[in-house]
Structure 1
């Protein structure tokens, strides 16, 4: 009986093992990749909300900049997104894949005036998507999204999961009360939230007239 022994020089063996390793990795990723596509009647809705809350520490009053532009409403129980045709009637709903919502709310405690609510929607027709706040890099068939924040931080959100960031700062503001300037010290709490509402049906998009 003969036993065949294959011998390779060290350099050749190293190259061979490298090729085998690369083939194994390629097979692994090919098997695990979530290969699929959104149905024509589906889209992904992700909402970004910023709430700025002012609390007076010392003083009598503080005034937020006035804002007022609430351009959409999302009913998270019915998964219905409503907006006016004159704002977003240009959306190509047949090709639409992602809608990103953006809301700003300014409010506060006793003595805080001004503020309000403003918002907007942005349409995307393929993934990845990009904007100055965050980018959607990938989407899984179960609705999980993989994001990259503008500072490069990776974030993965399942359906109905949230990413939350809270910052606080102390500010000093001077006001003229009719006789002299007075100083108000306020604590500003800014809460930023990204909510993944997952894969929704386009039939839940309600266009208001």
Structure 2
């Protein structure tokens, strides 16, 4: 059991939690990939299932109600660890490590494997949309004033192969509560998916 709560954490507490949960998330991410690609014998699969069920029961012995949400440190830093794109505790997330640049743009280098497949050997179009939606939102949102997706449109230039990829996004302009952003995913040969979107400053931020 943790000897502190996951609320109003100090920098030291956050680092301790990273050391506890990141390895678990990485192991489950490997498990997802192995589950998709295994060709093991039936008895091996059955034994693995029993071990997984036991591990799941152990982790459920104490858990929060509902989703993880966004926690905050004592310094006010966000901990979106359940997020489907960047979540440190979410094995579904690739995950992306977002880089913020001086010109306001954002980027991330990442790898997508078997868990993100749509057409054989290629990234599912919905996964590309998920990543671009998140990154355009990052580019459109100042640190103290989040923007939520109003509309987003994508143009699929060509199939995106599974493997090493890069995503980039930038805010183009702001008009009142609306910020307009663009971005793209690329592989070694250039862009594969382009996106543009409108992101809205929500009422609870306006008020």
Instruction: Give the TM-score, by structure 2 length.
Output: 0.22
More strand by share: 1
More helix by share: 2
Q: Specify which structure has the bigger relative contact order, considering alpha-carbon pairs within 8 angstroms and separated by 6 or more residues.
A: 1
Instruction: Give the TM-score, by structure 1 length.
Output: 0.21
